[in-house]
Structure 1
Amino acid sequence: MSNFLPWKILHIDVSESLPNLMAESNSQGLHLVFWWHGIPLGQQEILAEQLPMPATELAHRVLQAITPAVRDRLGLKGQPDGRSYNLQSLMALEAPLETMSQHLSNSQGEAKTVSVVICTRDRPEQLVNCLRSLQKLSQTLHEIIVVDNASTSDSTRQLAAQFSEVHYLLEPRPGLSVARNTGVRYSSGEIIAFTDDDVEVHPDWIIRLQHSFSNPQIMAVTGLVLPAELATDSQVIFEKEFSGLHRGYCPLTFDAQFFNQTKNIGVPVWQIGAGANMALRREAFNQVGYFDERLGAGASGCSEDSEFWYRILAEGWLCLYEPAAVVYHYHRGNLATLQRQMYQYMKGHVAALLVQFNRYKHWGNLYRVLVSLPWYYTKLVFSGVFQGFQNRYSTVFSEIFGYFSGLIFYLKNRSKKAY
């Protein structure tokens, strides 16, 4: 992609006067994210050739983008669709919108202590930005734990020592699940929140997660993961072709109905969210065990988080996706690292499906491994042959190799202790 141009990310608070959008040079256009007093409500892309754009036209784009989330937050799903609104009338619903904001900002029931666990390996230059963002949280944290997972130097320990509020743990055994479990065992909060070292958190991140556990049946909460930048071709491919790591702007509850409706074809637990923005009730580890140490980066490659969510649902508990809990993720910066990431994603995904089948004997997991995934990639490759290999195909063969690697990995490690 020699002629690649980046996208400029612009965050707009729609409770304020909308700006006129100026022409952009040396970019593909604007990636707009719309907020209302710290609550993310939607996004929109504006191509460079559509600029400049007056605020009056932007208002129509805003309305189209945020109506689903606003209606969902206000409980207006059963009423006439958003075409009956304009931006002014929607924003004029002042009392309900204020109620929505207060609902997310004020504690529902007793506030729970939150421990933040960050697992890292040899990436102090990224970790420092993550830790600085945690210093800007609007809610005081119970504790921050950095788990240094088999790093090859002392730089992470030296960095952690610069932050007085950070508890540093060295975990010499490699593997993300090993590191996560170490963090859980050393933490003391009622809620354990996880994020990655290549993430920066929104100031309200913790308070949004904290207040999402008002229902005692909820064992896991995930949140919205927005791109921190779209400056390279690989970052744009990941965000546009794979939908990045976010699951939209409407809250979602994953329950027994979701689990049972999809059990025969493989429960799509990956739709619940991302481990880069995840919080778990401490009680969850008593109910379903710890992270499976055969899974995750440094082992199978991925899916230690979604396999944990699978167990939560299989045991009758709930998972919640709350997009008001926001973090910003730096996607892989070049195509080679993106290809390795997608290889690891598929390897871990296949291994997790087989782990889930072995644990619960839910045949939908085998159906996905042996039928759905092979059929999907067969169609994808044939489509590329006849229609051309576009951006989506930059990682497809890495994913296919990851599929076979996941099968082999599971067969070699199926008898190992899970946690």
Structure 2
Amino acid sequence: MALKVLEIDVAEKIPALLSHRPYEGIHILVKYRRQPVGWVTLGNLQEPANPEQLREAIAEELGESLVRAALGRHLQPISSDKVDTLPISVIVCTRDRTAQLRRCLQSLVELEYPNYEIIVVDNAPSSDDTAGLAAGMPVRYVCEERPGLDRARNRGIAEALYGIVAFTDDDALPDRNWLNAISSAFAKREVMAVTGPVIPGELETDAQILFELGYGGMGHGFRERTIRPQTITLRDLFWSSGFGVGCNMAFRREIFTSVGLFDVVLDVGTPSMGAGDIEMFHRIVARGHTLVYEPTVLVRHIHRRGIEALRRQLLHNGSGFGCYLFSCARNRTLSRRAILFFACREWFWRWILRRLFRPGFIPRRLIVAELAGMLSSPVAYLASRRSSSRGR
């Protein structure tokens, strides 16, 4: 079943008719004055949805959330101080995906923001295609010959001109208001990192629907959160994957002087196959700094279209998360006893084995892939450490 992904702002006029064909239904992100509130799904539609259907569905699914959003807007204290638009360096790391990168860069050059630069970091490319694309667009091109996403991220930080660095991926499409929302989230000087929801850009294949509606996608909800050690539990700190996603994250550049750069042992392009982003979130919060998850910092992501590609993604998720825990143990951000307890009870038993026994919407073979990644993570972490040592 394919779903058409749409957005509606209930502070504006609801369209008279929403055509959904050739899709079987519509998956609607409901906003109130640009603030994301939640999702409404209308499936098995024989005719286009009309405003009355939409109003009823929105009221039933999101009535309380809409009231909270409206009250939050109207009851916020009015500030007489104008929030400055901070200059921002936007970094896109890519490797041999020129067609996807073209869409991403086009969305970035159309952002509603007065002062920003775009840096394309081409990671160990096999051709000059990305360099050729970048030459025809208002971006800065940098080539990082050493493979590894975190090497590319660190190169982007070194090349950035501005004090705020924002990252997105070549298969992502930031919202037009993305940089305004990031700048506003950094208004408080204590905030060192900002993340936000990553929503589906399309739901046109079974794999995309499985990942978004079955596995949980990349969204992490639409509730603003200020994340620091005093406001979260130890379990939350381990699950730093709930703090955000690498295709939608921004930092004060100075934080890297305090906590260090991205760990090149982790992430895509290394044997670990992931987790450089969540390890950085964990490290920032574990060392006493503040991360803000802001719902208006919105990015759309094109999920894997095929089942086999999704299986590989979940395999890499399992491997990457295990390598992240080994990194936490090596860096001693938490006690090794606590890490072992979390790995056995929360990750292995509650997250993987329970779903393996009761897979529900997700095919069991996808959960098996994640389990296989988990079991391979010790060897992957050691291999990644050896590989990074040779590549320094």
Indicate how the Cα distance of structure 1 residues 276 and 69 shifts in structure 2: closer, same or farther if over 3 A, else same. Answer: farther
- 1:294 is aligned to 265
Aligned twin of 1:401: 372
**Mean Cα displacement is larger for which, 120-129 or 349-358?**
349-358
| Unaligned ranges ≥5, structure 1 | 77-94
Q: Deviations over 1:359-394 (max 9, x none)?
A: 12433322232333332333333335xxxx753424
In the other structure, the counterpart of 1:14 is 10
Q: Which amino acid aligns with 2:259?
A: V
Deviation, 1:296, is: 0.8
Instruction: Identify which range, 111-120 or 14-23, moves more after superposition.
Output: 14-23
- Residue 246 of structure 1 aligns to a residue whose secondary structure is coil
Deviation at 1:205, TM superposition (A): 0.6
Show CA shifts across 1:70-126 (max 9, x none): 4554566xxxxxxxxxxxxxxxxxx828x79x98xx985443210000000000000
Q: Displacement, 1:285?
A: 0.4
**Partner residue of 1:333 out of 298, 305, 317:** 305
Corresponding residue number in structure 2 for 1:234? 207
Q: Does 1:342 align with 2:317?
A: no
Map residues 270-309 of structure 1 onto 2, 5 A cutoff: 270-299=241-270, 300-309=272-281
1:96 to 51, 70, 74: 74
Amino acid at match of 1:179: A
What's the counterpart of residue 43 of structure 2? 47
Which digits, 9 at most, give the CA deviation of each residue in 1:127-157, with x for residues without a partner? 0011111111110243110000001111000
Relative distance call for 1:414 and 1:134 in structure 2 (3 A) is closer
Which residue, out of 41, 53, 59, partners 2:55? 59
Contact kept, 8 Å, 1:21 with 1:51, in 2: the verdict is: no
What does the per-residue CA deviation read over 1:232-257, in whole Å, with 9 as the maximum and x for residues that have no partner?
11111111112211111221111113
User: Residue 31 of structure 1 corresponds to which residue in structure 2?
Assistant: 27
Deviations 1:153-205 (A, max 9, x none): 11000000011x21100001000000000000111211100000001121111
Q: How much has 1:37 moved relative to structure 2?
A: 3.5
Q: Using the alignment, how far apart are the partners of 2:68 and 2:268 within structure 1?
A: 35
Identify if the C-alpha distance between structure 1 residues 121 and 374 changes in structure 2 by more than 3 Å, giving closer, same or farther: same
Correspondence for 1:180 among 126, 135, 153? 153
Q: Which of 331, 335, 347 matches 1:373? A: 347
Structure 2 CA distance, aligned partners of 1:392 and 1:218?
Answer: 40
Matches within 5 A, 1:309-320: 309-320=281-292
Which deviates more from structure 2 when the two are superposed, residues 61-70 or residues 240-249? 61-70
1:121 and 2:95 aligned = yes
Q: Distance in 1 between matches of 2:202 and 2:294?
A: 22
Shift of 1:289: 0.5
Aligned-partner Cα distance in 2 for 1:149–1:294: 15
> How many pairs align?
386
- 3-state secondary structure, aligned to 1:293: coil
1:307-346 alpha-carbon deviations (Å, 9 max, x no partner): 1111111111111111111111100011111111111111
What is the CA RMSD across the aligned residues, in angstroms? 2.6
| Equivalent AA in structure 1 for residue 214 of structure 2 | E
Counterpart AA for 1:194: F
Counterpart position of 1:382: 357
Residues of 1 paired with 2:50 and 2:128: CA distance?
A: 52
- Asked whether the equivalents of residues 17 and 51 of structure 2 are also in contact (C-alpha less than 8 Å), the reply is yes
- Which of 125, 136, 139 is matched with 2:113 structurally? 139
Alpha-carbon distance in 2 for matches of 1:173, 1:216: 34
**Alignment partner, residue 162 of structure 1:** 136
TM-score (norm. length: structure 2): 0.90
8 A Cα contact 1:6 1:232, kept in partner: yes
Task: Name the CA distance, whole Å, in 2 between partners of 1:235 and 1:309.
Answer: 26
What's the % identity of the aligned pairs? 32
Q: 1:36 to 1:61 in 2, by over 3 A?
A: same
Q: Classify the secondary structure of the residue corresponding to 2:85.
A: coil
Contact 2:266 2:384 (C-alpha < 8 Å) held by counterparts? no
Distance 1:312 1:108, change over 3 A: farther
